[in-house]
Amino acid sequence: MITLLIIFFPLLAALMLLFVKGEQVKNIALGAAIVEFALCLVAFVQYQHGNTTQFEVTYSWIQSLGINFHVGMDGISLLMVALTTFLVPVIILASFSNQYRNPSVFYSLLLAMQFALVGVFVSLDGFLFYIFWELALIPIYFICLLWGGENRARITFKFFVYTLTGSLLMLGGLIYLYLHTEGAHSFDINALYKAGQSLPLSGQGYVFWAMFMAFAIKMPIFPFHTWQPDTYTVAPAPGTMMLSGIMLKMGTYGVIRWLLPVAPLGVEHWAHLAIGLSVIGIVYASCIAIVQKDFKRLIAYSSIAHVGLISAGILAANVQGVQGGVIQMLSHGVNVVGLFFIVDLLQKRYGTREIAALGGIRNLNPQFAVLFLFVLLGSVALPLTNGFVGEFLLLNGVYQYNAWWAAFGGLSVILGAVYMLRSYQTIMLGETNSVTATFTPLNGNEKTVLIILCAAIIVFGVYPKPLLDIAEPSVVKLVEGVRVAMGK
Amino acid sequence: MKALILLSSLGVLSLLAEIFSFKKLLYPLVLLGLTVTFVLNIGEWNTNVTYFKMMTFDNFAVAFSSVIIVVAFLWFLMAEGFFKEESSQTDHYALILFALVGALLMVSYTNMTMLFLGIEILSIPMYILAGSKKDDLSSNEAAFKYLIMGAFATGFLLFGITLIYGSTGSFDLTEIQNAVSVPGKVPGIFYTGVLLMLVGMAFKVSAAPFHFWAPDVYQGAPTMMTAFMATIVKTAAMAAFLRLFDTTFVRVSGTWTEVLWVMAALTLLVGNITAVFQTSTKRMLAYSSVAHAGYMLLALISANVYSSPGILFYTLAYSIGSIATFCIVSVVVNARGDDGIHSFNGLAKTNPLLAGIMTIALLSLAGIPPTAGFFAKYYIFTSAFMAGNVGLVLIAIVASLIGVYYYFRIIIAMYFKEGKHEEVDVDMNHKILLIVIAFAIVALGIFPDVVVRLL
């Protein structure tokens, strides 16, 4: 029941918002998002530690095709839902000082997107998963198209077609699996697992590539990333935060929940290539990030590097890797939203995002400097910040798979420190210049957002155990299933 | 059958309206008649009556008839203006109603003569109505082209029927099927006949390479007639195609599947790629309609359990989506006097409701969930996958992506491009109709089972 509430409450709120006029829209949207977070907390409290899927709900949906409305949460799903419901209110609060045309439509789309994202994370039916997966694309497309920056029509369209290509391939893969399920065909997750695992290597190879493409484009992994920097740059700040903070996790989550179990042999056979691409992406994106002049673009590229490591760790298909992937998905979500928020703060104040044009802001507002530093350290994975826990586990996981890939993947930490610290140095330290002569102090909302994010960064860096405890049993169960199917 | 009789009498009645001067009553009368027809038609569900070995109202026929009647009802609601404009209006009612009679024959025939009669009864009113804007040159051109090309296709069809009759000695579908059940004993001319009929039917559903008439006719004809041709005519032709090839000729599928495979691939690619380069909205929709025939051919080739429900759902989803788009296109084009895509610039600002519904309809045509169009495509893909036509599915996926490109051009024009236009006036009837269709598109996308499990 709680699952249904968590899924449909944002949709309801989104529809209601369409009929609200005036300044109240923001507050109502925030209120709805907070209620949604509270619902998620209720689920957290009721959740019983273990490796079972809980809060399951099944309704017959399209009987003739064996499609059910089947949702439920295990540890991994619960954490993803928690991330979504935590970030959406933060993102809405972060947008409080911005003025958007037609705010009711804007916030309605944000909440509609939350609905689809939650749906993706709790679906236990292949068809339902696909519907939510596609559904998430429509609101963000319109958010970018209607409120984005220059050249948005072309860029958002590229984004749409790119991700749709992946989705359609995944649909092909799902139908292929569906037609191999036993008896009367079914889209149920366990039936699909079984069908996938009983396929020969060649069949699993097709499934692997069909689904991997969809996830690789969504994350994105090199060389399918070309839509990402443009889209992140052109999207309005809340859109960028949704895209990078949550939507990107659809891809990594998809790999864990769907790709690994339905095509274990395919994963085993192709992992070298897939992990190779991820690791190449890490180094490549980090190098490009170093030479970026636009701070928003720099973070977009850094996101490719981070997600590359997540994907490499997950595809290594061992407990540490997947566990690290789950934790890092949470950390990256929090950190990248923080970073994009800081970009937005700077842009609002100075009208530019060019790193070289800024400088000396620390002298003007030390408080902001400290908060920025925390977010930044989390993102470069300094020990005792949230980024460290995940990154450590991920590298450990990749190392177990192949030491060389781990060594290259480890470069992400070093290169990440290079570009992040360098940009911090240029933007915050040194002397103020004509552009940065004054710094409008942070207002209450902005401060709240940064403090919430910093608190999350530190708390889960120092004491990640609760998250690990929730994730671990489910991860162990899933990975063991996969490894048995691989014959290990 | 009752539906057929009622529609025919309604047609005759509307011819009398001019003489006995109850023209004003005719429009509500027709709407009422269609409602009754729908009910009568549903009443024949599961009865499976065959009439004189000529027609059978099995569930296949009833389901497709229902789609045709529902779409016709929506079409009448949309096309009220079409009947008001002209000086002699009652003949238009009669022609449309007779065309519907032809459409119903095409979904229920069990005899080749009935198929032929159905096609002709449907086509002849279409030839006339395509040219119903008498003072418009392009409308006349459309009618003339349609007549010539249509007659040509009918020739092929008739020749095919003759050869099949010559080799099997029967017009009856079951008897033909039985006659060719022993593979070695089928005379060669039978196969020729099948292929000629394939060409004839491909003309009617506008499948490439026999689609050349469609864009010119669709663009030239009055918008309302274009909508009629793109929805009802296509549904009927597709159902006729399906009945003929997936039941009667299925035993000799070796002869035609490969031909149809190539035709489907060509239709998908030619339709979608050419649509990208169109500047006129109507012409673009014409090519998109060609492309949609291609998707449906996928299910036809597969000839399995998913084929009939797949095509049934597809025709319904595609038809209501098209009715909505054509309605909005005609409203916008009338107001702005130009059918270029730029007429839609800034529509989201002036008419948010219209733009929103257009978006839903276009998303459905492009096959994006949770709209009906997505599920229709899903079903077709599953059917093709099951039959092992993976290559065709891949082509269809590429084609859908291209499709997204041109459908989104209108969406981008509405939401992104600045327009200098005034607000477009939409009358209340159209507004209600469009809202209902928008809901139907989403509802069918979420609960497709209602329709799909019928067949």
In chain B, residues with a C-beta closer than 8 Å to the C-beta of A176 are 385
| Model pLDDT for residues B324-334, shown as the tens digit of each residue | 999 999 999 88
**Arithmetic mean of pLDDT, A103-132:** 93
Q: Which residue of B has its CA nearest to A174?
A: B382
- Residue B88: is it exposed, middle or buried by C-beta count within 10 angstroms (0-12/13-18/19+)? exposed
**Arithmetic mean of pLDDT, A407-435:** 87
> Using the beta-carbon criterion (under 8 Å), do B385 and A175 form an inter-chain contact?
yes
| Model pLDDT for residues B385-442, shown as the tens digit of each residue | 888 888 999 999 999 999 998 999 999 889 888 877 788 888 888 999 999 999 999 9
Q: Which residue of A has its CA nearest to B413?
A: A153
Q: Which residue of A has its CA nearest to B386?
A: A179
> Using the beta-carbon criterion (under 8 Å), do A160 and B404 form an inter-chain contact?
yes
- More confident of the two residues A65 and A259: A259
> Using the beta-carbon criterion (under 8 Å), do A138 and B453 form an inter-chain contact?
no
The one-letter amino acid at B203:
F
pLDDT at B208: 84
Chosen for mutation from B378, B415, B453 (greatest number of chain A CBs closer than 10 Å) is B378
| Model pLDDT for residues B193-247, shown as the tens digit of each residue | 999 999 999 999 999 889 989 999 999 998 999 999 999 999 999 999 999 998 8
Asked if A476 has any chain B CB less than 8 Å from its own CB, the reply is: no
| Model pLDDT for residues B26-69, shown as the tens digit of each residue | 889 999 999 999 999 999 888 888 888 899 999 999 999 999 99
Of A63, A137, A160, the CB nearest to B453: A63
> Using the beta-carbon criterion (under 8 Å), do A168 and B397 form an inter-chain contact?
yes
| Model pLDDT for residues A92-101, shown as the tens digit of each residue | 999 888 888 8
Residue A123: left if φ>0, alpha if ψ -120 to 50, beta else—which one? beta
pLDDT at B239: 95
Domain tally, chain B: 1
Of B370, B397, B405, the CB nearest to A172: B397
pLDDT at B87: 58
In the predicted structure, residue A130 carries a pLDDT above the cut 90: yes
pLDDT at B171: 92
| Model pLDDT for residues A235-245, shown as the tens digit of each residue | 999 999 999 99
pLDDT band at A113 (very low <50, low <70, confident <90, very high): very high
> Using the beta-carbon criterion (under 8 Å), do B385 and A64 form an inter-chain contact?
no
| Model pLDDT for residues A375-401, shown as the tens digit of each residue | 999 998 888 888 888 899 999 999 999
CB A393 within 8 Å of CB A321: yes
> Using the beta-carbon criterion (under 8 Å), do B369 and A131 form an inter-chain contact?
yes
- Helix, strand, or coil (residue A124): coil
Average pLDDT over chain B, rounded to an integer: 90
Of A62, A164, A178, the CB nearest to B449: A62
Q: If interface means Cβ-Cβ distance under 8 Å, which residues of chain B face chain A?
A: 309, 363, 368-370, 374, 378, 381-382, 385-386, 393-394, 397, 400-401, 404-405, 408, 412, 415-416, 447-449, 452-453
pLDDT at B88: 60
Of A64, A165, A175, the CB nearest to B449: A64
- Please report, rounded to a whole number, the percentage of residues in chain A having pLDDT higher than 70: 100
Report the alpha-carbon distance of residue A350 to residue A435 in Å, rounded. 7
In the predicted structure, residue B264 carries a pLDDT above the cut 90: yes
**Arithmetic mean of pLDDT, A408-419:** 87
| Model pLDDT for residues B344-366, shown as the tens digit of each residue | 988 888 888 999 999 999 999 99
Of A64, A138, A142, the CB nearest to B453: A64
Predicted-complex ipTM score: 0.88
In the predicted structure, residue A51 carries a pLDDT above the cut 90: no
In the predicted structure, residue B372 carries a pLDDT above the cut 80: yes
Chosen for mutation from B345, B395, B411, B447 (greatest number of chain A CBs closer than 10 Å) is B411
Q: Which residue of A has its CA nearest to B418?
A: A146
Asked if A160 has any chain B CB less than 8 Å from its own CB, the reply is: yes
Beta-sheet pairing, A67-73 with B49-51:
unpaired
Of A168, A169, A179, the CB nearest to B386: A179
For the CA atoms of A152, A158, A161, A164, the dihedral, rounded to the nearest 10 degrees, stands at -80
pLDDT at B183: 72
| Model pLDDT for residues B88-123, shown as the tens digit of each residue | 667 888 999 999 999 999 999 999 999 999 999 999
Of A64, A131, A168, the CB nearest to B370: A131
pLDDT at A323: 93
Q: What's the gap in Å between the CA of B291 and the closest CA on chain A?
A: 18
pTM more than 0.90: yes
> Using the beta-carbon criterion (under 8 Å), do A172 and B385 form an inter-chain contact?
yes
pLDDT at B86: 63
> Using the beta-carbon criterion (under 8 Å), do A164 and B404 form an inter-chain contact?
yes
Average pLDDT over chain A, rounded to an integer: 91
In the predicted structure, residue A196 carries a pLDDT above the cut 70: yes
> Using the beta-carbon criterion (under 8 Å), do B370 and A142 form an inter-chain contact?
no
| Model pLDDT for residues A277-311, shown as the tens digit of each residue | 999 999 999 999 999 999 999 999 999 999 999 99
| Model pLDDT for residues B265-310, shown as the tens digit of each residue | 999 999 999 999 999 999 999 999 999 999 999 999 998 888 999 9
Determine the structural domain holding residue B91 and report its residue range: 2-452
Q: What's the gap in Å between the CA of A146 and the closest CA on chain B?
A: 7
- More confident of the two residues B182 and A459: A459
In chain B, residues with a C-beta closer than 8 Å to the C-beta of A134 are 368-370, 374
Of A63, A134, A179, the CB nearest to B369: A134
Q: What's the gap in Å between the CA of B401 and the closest CA on chain A?
A: 7
B298: which residues sit within 8 A by CB, 6+ positions away? B264, B380, B381, B383, B384, B389, B392, B393, B396
Q: What's the gap in Å between the CA of A473 and the closest CA on chain B?
A: 34
> Using the beta-carbon criterion (under 8 Å), do B382 and A164 form an inter-chain contact?
no
- More confident of the two residues A150 and A247: A247
In the predicted structure, residue B184 carries a pLDDT above the cut 80: no
pLDDT at A242: 93
Chain A residues 41-100 with CB within 8 Å of chain B: 61-65
In chain A, residues with a C-beta closer than 8 Å to the C-beta of B381 are 171-172, 175
> Using the beta-carbon criterion (under 8 Å), do B381 and A175 form an inter-chain contact?
yes
> Using the beta-carbon criterion (under 8 Å), do B393 and A169 form an inter-chain contact?
no
